[in-house]
Amino acid sequence: MDASTQTSPADFLNDKNITFYTGIQNLQVFLTLVTTLKTFLPSRKFKDLLVTDQLLLVFMRIRLGLLYEDLAFRFGIKGDMASKVFSFWVKIISNKLSMLITYIPSALSNTCVPSQFKHRFPRLTCMIDCTEIFTERPLRLRTRAQMYSNYQSHQTAKYLVGIAPNGLITFVSEGYTGRASDLCIVRNSGFLDLVQPLDEIMADRGFNIEEDLKKKGAKLIIPNFTRGKPQLTPAEVLHTRRVANSRIHIERLIGRIKTFRILHGNFPINQLKLLDDIMRVVCIICNLKQKLIK
């Protein structure tokens, strides 16, 4: 309060600050999350810090990538307590609010398909793509080789993300090493278990999962190949353009995920056990934002 860089809680909690410091859409959504989540806090845990401040600390670290020492100073606590608060809550939020990331089958997704998809891909259920998070270099050579991504030329953790035609995130996988292929992740992440007959899944050319989807009675939508022929037919060119115009939305969604600065730089190896929960919390926050596709 006496420092020129500090402010009172009453002045701090407003829509503008909540959006900037936490990534959450507005103050009302933040307070609703506080009311929902505080029921999962044991009565004697972190009793020196209000639940509102605990969750503010967690979301500020995720949104801005602040160090524990910085957060400890801001909230008037010790550095190790800031770490404990973050580790505790990020797991709770990931687990208790996981229902906000739910796969929507075609029977339901058809009711909320934006107009731009209704004529081109009327049964489109989900668009999928992989995103990679840079990590520090592991000490063990075997682990270092497994985490090396040829695409990024760096050690990474790789995630499969799926969105509905309206832009909601409906699937996020556990983290895989950067060496894992897109096909490997789709087959082992549990995504195919969610696919239902008549679903249509849109992906890039690297997702060679047509046979896997056929077994489920579903259909794969990907751009056309020129492999084995001199050029695409006019119909194939039109289809490829339509797929590219539609797939831009999942790239926009991944761009929204990457605005959370905790995912910037090289994620610490000693905190990798929290990365799956952090990614899920980021996706939950993204689903609470304004619609990606109108």
CB-based contact 178:149 (threshold 8 Å): yes
Q: What's residue 293's pLDDT?
A: 74
Is there a domain that residue 285 lies in? no
Q: pLDDT category, 7, cuts 50, 70, 90?
A: low
Same domain, 15 and 144: no
Higher per-residue confidence, 63 vs 47: 63
Share of the chain above pLDDT 70, in %: 93
Q: What's residue 6's pLDDT?
A: 56
b/e code 140-167 from CB counts within 10 Å (16+ = b) = eeeeeeebbbeeeeebbbbbbbbbbbbb
Q: What's residue 109's pLDDT?
A: 67
Structure-block tokens of residue 274: 């929290």
Q: What is the mean pLDDT of residues 65-71?
A: 94
Same domain, 150 and 72: no
Same domain, 119 and 44: no
Same domain, 140 and 264: yes
pLDDT digits 0-9 by tens, 98-109: 999 999 877 776
CA-to-CA separations, 174 to 30, 86, 115, 249, 253, in angstroms, rounded: 26, 20, 32, 22, 18
Same domain, 136 and 222: yes
Same domain, 49 and 136: no
Q: What's residue 153's pLDDT?
A: 93
Q: What's residue 71's pLDDT?
A: 94
Q: What's residue 70's pLDDT?
A: 94
CB-based contact 222:204 (threshold 8 Å): yes
Q: What is the mean pLDDT of residues 221-225?
A: 83
Mean pLDDT of the chain: 89
Q: What is the mean pLDDT of residues 25-29?
A: 93
Structure-block tokens of residue 225: 């190949």
Q: pLDDT category, 1, cuts 50, 70, 90?
A: very low
Share of the chain above pLDDT 90, in %: 64
Show the DSSP H helices in 65-140 as ranges: 68-75, 79-96, 106-109, 115-118
* Nearest-angstrom CA–CA distance, 122 and 168: 17
Structure-block tokens of residue 63: 């949104």
pLDDT digits 0-9 by tens, 249-269: 899 999 999 999 999 999 999
Same domain, 85 and 210: no
Same domain, 227 and 145: yes
Lowest mean pLDDT among 30-39, 53-62, 206-215, 240-249: 240-249
To which H or E segment does residue 124 belong?
Answer: strand 124-134
Helices (H) and strands (E) in the chain, counts: 14, 7
The parent domain of residue 192 ranges over: 100-272
Mark which of 52, 67, 96 sits at the end of a domain: 96
Higher per-residue confidence, 108 vs 222: 222
Same domain, 61 and 166: no
Q: What is the mean pLDDT of residues 143-154?
A: 93
Structure-block tokens of residue 203: 């992906």
Q: Is residue 16 helix, strand or coil? A: helix
> Is the predicted pLDDT of residue 184 greater than 80, yes or no?
yes
> Is the predicted pLDDT of residue 212 greater than 90, yes or no?
yes
